[in-house]
Amino acid sequence: MLREAAARLRDGRWRVVVVALAVLAGAIAIAGRIASGQAADNLRDGALAALPLAAGTLTGEIEKQRLVPLVLARDDAVRGALRRAGKMQEAALNDKLKAIAGDASASAIYVIDTEGIAIAASNAGEPTSFVGIDYNFRHYFQEAMANGAASQYGLGTISGRPGLYLASRVDDGAKPLGVVVLKVELDRVEANWRSSGFLVFVTDERGVVLATSQPEWRFHALAPLSAQDAAAAREQLQLADAGFEPLPLRRGAGDGLATIDNNGKSRQFVEVVQDLPGAVPDWRLWLLTPADAALSSAANTARLTTLLGLLLLGLLAFVLTRRRRARRLRQEALARMNAELESRVSMRTAELTRSNTALAGEIAERENAEAKVRRLRDDLAQANRLSILGQIAAGVAHEINQPVAAIRTYAENAGRFLDTGKTEPASGNLTSIVSMTERIGAITSTLRTFARRPGVAASPLPVREAIDGALSLLSGRIRDSGVTIVKPRGNASPVVMASRIRLEQILVNLLQNALDAMKDQPDPRIEIDIAEREDRVLISVRDNGPGLGPEAAGNLFMPFQTTKEKGLGLGLVISQEIAQELGGTLRLDPGSAGGASFTIDLRRIE
Contact 508, 474 (CB under 8 A): yes
Percent of the chain with pLDDT over 70: 82
pLDDT of amino acid 388:
31
**Taking 60 as the threshold, does the pLDDT of residue 588 lie above it?**
yes
pTM: 0.47
How far apart CA 64 and CA 570 sit, in angstroms, is: 13
How far apart CA 169 and CA 181 sit, in angstroms, is: 9
How far apart CA 295 and CA 291 sit, in angstroms, is: 6
Specify the higher pLDDT residue, 591 or 174.
Answer: 174
Rounded mean pLDDT of the chain? 79
How far apart CA 304 and CA 398 sit, in angstroms, is: 67
Q: What's the rounded mean pLDDT across residues 437-450?
A: 46
**Taking 60 as the threshold, does the pLDDT of residue 355 lie above it?**
yes
Spatial CA neighbour of 210 closest among 244, 168, 172, 251: 244
Specify the higher pLDDT residue, 70 or 430.
Answer: 70
Specify the higher pLDDT residue, 596 or 16.
Answer: 596
**Taking 80 as the threshold, does the pLDDT of residue 461 lie above it?**
yes
pLDDT band at 383 (very low <50, low <70, confident <90, very high): very low
Q: What's the rounded mean pLDDT across residues 45-53?
A: 83
Contact 277, 302 (CB under 8 A): no
Spatial CA neighbour of 557 closest among 588, 578, 594: 588
**Taking 70 as the threshold, does the pLDDT of residue 140 lie above it?**
yes
Three-class SS string for 344-389?
Answer: HHHHHHHHHHHHHHHHHHHHHHHHHHHHHHHHHHHHHHHHHHHHHH
- Determine the residue type at 97: L
Q: What's the rounded mean pLDDT across residues 254-281?
A: 78
**Taking 70 as the threshold, does the pLDDT of residue 474 lie above it?**
yes
pLDDT of amino acid 176:
93
| Coil, helix or strand at residue 172 | strand
- Determine the residue type at 560: F
**Taking 50 as the threshold, does the pLDDT of residue 153 lie above it?**
yes
pLDDT tens digits for 202-228? 988 888 888 898 888 888 888 888 888
Q: List, as own/partner pairs, every contact residues 409-418 make where C-beta atoms lie below 8 angstroms and the sequence separation is at least 24, other chains included.
A: 410/436
pLDDT of amino acid 28:
77
Q: What's the rounded mean pLDDT across residues 1-15?
A: 69
How far apart CA 65 and CA 101 sit, in angstroms, is: 10
Residue 162: which residues within 8 A CB-CB, separation 6 or more? 153, 154, 155, 156, 185, 210, 218, 219
pLDDT tens digits for 491-528? 778 999 988 888 888 898 899 888 888 888 888 999 99
571-581 vs 500-517: helix axis angle to the nearest 10?
A: 150
**Taking 70 as the threshold, does the pLDDT of residue 186 lie above it?**
yes
Q: What is the DSSP string of 410-443?
A: HHHHHHHHHHTT-HHHHHHHHHHHHHHHHHHHHH
pLDDT band at 542 (very low <50, low <70, confident <90, very high): very high
Q: Among the residues of 420-523, which ranges form H helices?
A: 423-444, 463-473, 475-481, 500-517
